[in-house]
A and B are shown apart, each in its own frame.
Chain A
Amino acid sequence: MNRGAPRRALALSVGLCAAGLLGGLSSAAAAPPPNVDLGALQAALGKGAFSEAIDQLEQWSDQGLVHPTLSFDRGVAYLGRAESSARKPADLGQAAAAFEEALALDPSDEEARVVLGRIRETVSEQRTKEHAQGVVARPRLLRALMGLIGEEVWAGSALLGSLLLGIGLAGRLFLKSHEARLSGAIAAVAGSLLLLGGAGMAAAGQHLRRHFAPAVVIVEEARLLDPEGRPVSGARGPSALDAAGDRVPEGSLVYIAEARGALVKVEWGDGVAWLNAAQVRKIATLEGG
C-alpha cells in the first residue's frame, strides 16, 4: 500500500464531516423581524399603562408572532405591572414565563437570564414570608447533564470522537511501525467511546427537546394532580425535599410531556405528575428544520 492512502482517506472523511455539518447549519436561515410597532407600547409603559402594553403583546403572541425581543418586552411589562399599584396575582409568573421564552429563543441573552433568576428568588422570598415551605426540585440526571453541557457540545464531541476513531483506524490499518499501530488502536478505542457517548447524549437531548415542551407555572401555586385530576399528596420525586413538594411554586419551569383534556402531564424535578393546563404557560420556540 502506498503512503498516500491513509492521508487520502482521512482527508475524504474530514471533508465529508465538514460537508455534513455545513449542509446542516446552512438550512437555518435568518427570518425577517415581525412588522410591529413597539413605539406605542414603549410610550404606554412610560406613562404606567402596563396592561395596555401587555394586552397588545399577548395578542401578538396569540397570533403566533415569536421573537425574543417581543417575549422580553412582555416580561418587562408584566414585571412593571407586578411592581405597580395595578399588579395582578399571576404577574410574576407571567413575567418569568416571558423571560424564560426570551431565553429559549435567544440563549445568549444574559439580561433575561439574570432577571429570571431574580424573579425566582423574589417568589421564593415571598413564599418564605408567607410561611410556605421552600421547595427544592432537582432536575433528573439526564436533564441536569444536558443543562451542564449543551446538546451541541455533546454533538461536537461525537464528531470529534468520529474523527479520532477514523485517525486511529488509519494508523492501525495503514502504518507499519508497531508504536504507530498501537497508538492507532488506543486512539480508535478512545474515539469510539467519545463517539458513542456524545452521539447518545445528543440523541437524548433531541428526545427531550422533541417530546417535552417547556412551560412555566403562572399561578401562585400549582397543585400536583393524578391523571384523574385529584390532588396528590405524596407523589413526588425523591429530590423534592419537603412536604410542600406537592405544589409547584409560581415561576417554576416544568416540562409538558402530554396533554389530556384540561390536564397536562409534566416533569417537575425528577418526578412526573399532572397539572391543570390553565396554570402553566407553554414556552414558544422557534425551532429550525
Chain B
Amino acid sequence: MKPVLLGWLLAFALLLGLSGNARSQIDLQLQVSSYEISVGETLEVQLDAMSADDEAPTRPELTAPSSFEVRGPSVGTRQQVSISGFRMQRQTGISATWQLTATRAGVYSIGPASVEVGGRRQRAQAVQIRVLAEGQRPQRPQRRSRRPSSPFDPFGTDDPFDDLFDRLRGGGSAGFERLPEAAPDLLPERALDPVAFLDARIDTQHAVVGQQVTLTIYAHGSQGLFQEAAGSHEPSHPDFLAQRLVEDPSHQPVYQYARDGERWIAVKVRESALFPLRAGRLEIGPLEFGFLGRRYAARTAEGLRRSSRPLVVDVVEPPADGRPAGYAGDVGEFRLDATVEPRHITQGGSIAVTARVDGTGRMPGALKLPEQEGVAWLEPTLRGDPSVAGTTVGGLRNFNYVVRLTRAGKIDLGRLSLPFYNPTTRRYRVLTADLGQVTVDPEPRAATSSRPAAPPRGPQLSELVHFRSQLSAQRALSHWADHAGFWWSLGAAPACVLFAAGFGSARRRLRRRWQRREQSQATHAERALAEARQALGRGEPGLVLSSAERALYLAIEWAAGLRARALLRSELEARLVAAGLDAELAREAAELLGRSGELRLAGSAVERDAVTGLLARVQKLVKRLLGKPQQHARTAADEARA
C-alpha cells in the first residue's frame, strides 16, 4: 500500500510543480505610491507584468472603485534579466501606470489589475488603501522601491536628502569637481529654468514607420543633488512602440557643468527607443518629473515639479519604389541564416527548421515561408536575445519551426526570406536562406492501415471560387448623379413646356400689339403724308392736297379723338378747343383744312408753290399733333352728347 501512496504523493507534487511552473510564466506585481492619501490627492498605481516566454503581456486593465477618478494607463515595455544559481532568466513585459484621484474618504480595494497573455487574462492581487477626509494629513511612509537608497548619489551616502552643495560648502570638499564634466552636446543652449528643468531630445525628427527614434530626457538642477519624486507622469507616445533603454535612472552617471557662474548637475532620467507605428506628425508627450532635494522641495512628496517639452516626429511610410512583395514593415539591418534537421524522414513526420535573424532595429516578428502542398509549417517558437548597443536596439531572434511533411519524395523546401528596409542606405533588401532538399520516405503500409480513417472533410469555401487569369478592360463605374448634365436634364422637360407656353403667349401679345399699331391713326397719317410727298414729286397737286388733308384729319383724330371730317369747317376750331387741343393748333388745323379746300377748288390752275407750302405746314402740324398722347376716337353717342 505504501508504494502506491508514495506514488500518488509524488504525482500530486509533480502536478503542483507543473502548475506552479505554468503560473510562474507571468509575474504580476501591483504597487501603489501610498497606502494612505487624502481626498483630492492622486495615487499612482503601477502594474508590472513580466513574462518569461515570448508571449508579451498586453491590454492592462485596472478595477477601481467609483470613488476614484482614473487616468491612464500609460504603458511602457520592460526587459529584465535575472540570474538564479546557474540559470539566467530573461523576462520581457510591460509596466502600466494609472493615476487615481480620490473623491471620497474610506477604505478601498484597488484592483485586481490584469493583463492579457496568450489570449488569457491574468490577474494581480488587489491592494487595500485608506482615503482620509480632505485636509487630514496622511502618514506617508517612504517608499524605498520608488526612492532607492542611493539614487543620484555618486558618493555613496545613504541619506536620500543629502545635498551635495551643503557638503561642498561645509567641508570645502572638491567633491563637485570629482563628478565627470558634461559633454558639450548634452548641454542645452540656455537654462530653461533658474532652478531645475528637463531637457527632452530625439535623435531624429524624420523617420520611417518602424525606424528607431531615441528619446532621451535629462534632468538639470542648479541646487545640488536631487532625487526623482514619486508620481512622475511618463511621456505619452500612443503612436509608438516603446522600449526603455534606461531602466533605473538612479544608476545613471551624474554630470556637472558650470553656466553663468552657477554649478549645474545633469542626469539622464529617461531613455527610450520609440518605433513609430504609423505615418504622420506623431507627438511625444512631456515627462512630468518631481525634483526632490533639500534645496528643491524637500517638504512635499511631489517635489519641485517640472515638465519636459512635447516633441514631434515627422514619420512617413518607407518608399513605395522598389518595395519588395511581402514587405511586412521591418526596418533595420539584419542577417538571416537557417538550418534544417533531419534531412531524411518518413512521410507524416516532422523536421525542425531553425532560422536565426540578428542585426539592429526591431526584431522581425515573422519570416516569409516557402509554402507548398504537403509541407505544413506550424507556428514558430520565438526565442529572442535583445541587446542595446549604445542607444541602438537590436539583437538576435531565433525562429524555431516544426514542419510536417505529408508528401513522399524528394522535397525542395525552398527559401525563407526576410524583406526589410534599411533607413541608413534608404534601400530595401530581401535576405534569403536556402533550406535545401529533404527526402521523405513513403509511410509503411502497416502504419497506413492501422491508422483510423480521417473524418470526411466538408465542402471547402475555397472550392467555390477559382482563380481568374484573364484581365478584361475595366470601365469605370459612372453614376448619373455625378454628371451635371443629369441634374440639368431633370429640369429640361418642364422648363421646355413652360418656355413653349410662355413663348406662345408672348407671340400672341406681340401680334395683337402689331395689329393695333397697324390700325392706328398715327401710322395712317404718316403714310398719307408720304403719299402726298410722292404725289408732289410726280407733279400731281390734287393727290397732294387730298393726301395732306387725310393726314391732317387722322392727326386730329389721334390728338383730339374727333372725327373732324364729320364737322362743319365753321365749328371745327371751337370743337377742337373743346376737345382739349391748344387754341393755336386748333386754329391752324382749321385754317389749313380751309386752305386745302380752296386749293382743291382751284383745280389744275393751282400753283405748285402754294401746294408745296401747304404740304410743309401740314407736315409740321401733323408732327406736332402726333407728338401729343393719343385720344380715343369718340363714338357716335359721344359725339351726340358733345
What residues make up the interface of A, taking CB atoms closer than 8 Å to B?
1, 5-6, 8-10, 12-14, 16-21, 23-25, 27-34, 36, 38-39, 41-42, 45, 47-52, 55-56, 58-59, 62-63, 66-70, 72-73, 75-77, 79-80, 82-86, 105, 107, 111, 114-115, 118-119, 122, 151-152, 155-156, 158-159, 162-163, 165-167, 169-170, 173-174, 191, 195, 199, 202-203, 205-206, 209, 229, 261-262, 277-278, 285-289
Contacts and interface: CB of A to CB of B under 8 A. Distances in A.
A209 B479 contact: yes
A83 B481 CA distance: 42
For the residues of A in contact with B, the DSSP-based class is helix
Given A47-B372, A83-B460, 20 more contacts: A1-B504, A9-B497, A9-B500, A10-B493, A17-B493, A19-B485, A20-B489, A23-B485, A29-B475, A38-B467, A52-B325, A69-B471, A77-B467, A111-B464, A155-B479, A155-B480, A162-B491, A165-B493, A199-B487, A286-B476
A162 B481 contact: no
Nearest to A66: B474
A119 B369 CA distance: 26
Range, interface on chain B: 35 or more
A115 B465 contact: yes
8 contacts: A10-B497, A59-B327, A62-B323, A67-B471, A69-B472, A73-B468, A166-B494, A289-B476
A156 B320 CA distance: 43
B481 A205 contact: yes
Nearest to A99: B465
A204 B461 CA distance: 36
A14 B497 CA distance: 11
Interface in B470-509: 470-483, 485-501, 504, 508
Contacts of A173: 497-498, 501
Interface of B: 238-239, 277-278, 280, 320, 323-327, 368-377, 404, 460-462, 464-483, 485-501, 504, 508
Contacts of B327: 59
A262 B374 CA distance: 40
Shortest Cβ-Cβ A-B pairs, 10 listed: A166-B493, A20-B489, A24-B483, A28-B478, A9-B500, A288-B476, A55-B326, A13-B493, A13-B496, A48-B373
A250 to B, nearest CB: 14
B431 to A, nearest CB: 15
- Name the residue in A52, A83, A111, A203 with the highest tally of chain B Cβ atoms < 10 Å from its Cβ: A52
B473 A262 contact: no
Contacts of B479: 151-152, 155, 205-206, 209, 287-288
Contacts of B376: 85-86
Contacts of B372: 47-49
A169 B500 CA distance: 11
B461 A32 contact: no
B368 A51 contact: yes
Given A20-B485, A20-B492, A69-B468, A288 B462 contact: no
A195 B474 CA distance: 32
Nearest to B489: A20
Contact of B325 (A9, A59, A155, A277): A59
B465 A86 contact: no
B496 A76 contact: no
Contacts of A286: 474, 476-477
A50 B371 contact: yes
A169 B491 CA distance: 13
A33 B470 CA distance: 9
A199 B488 CA distance: 11
A206 B492 CA distance: 21
B71 to A, nearest CB: 11
A289 B371 contact: no
Nearest to A111: B465
A225 B446 CA distance: 58
B471 A38 contact: yes
Contact of A36 (B323, B471, B478): B471
Contacts of A115: 461, 464-465
Contacts of B499: 9
B370 A49 contact: yes
Contact of B371 (A21, A52, A170, A288): A52
A70 B468 CA distance: 8
A225 to B, nearest CB: 12
A152 B480 contact: yes
A155 B464 CA distance: 35
Nearest to B475: A30
A67 B468 CA distance: 12
A31 B475 CA distance: 6
Nearest to A59: B325
Contact of A62 (B320, B468, B473): B320
A270 to B, nearest CB: 23
Most chain B CB inside 10 Å of its own CB: which residue of A6, A38, A82, A166: A166
Nearest to B374: A48
Contacts of A158: 490
For A51, A77, A115, the residue with the greatest tally of chain B CB atoms inside 10 Å of its CB is A51
B462 A287 contact: no
Contacts of B374: 48
Given A13-B496, A76-B466, A151-B481, A86 B371 contact: yes
Nearest to B369: A51
B98 to A, nearest CB: 13
Contacts of B497: 6, 9-10, 13, 166, 169-170, 173
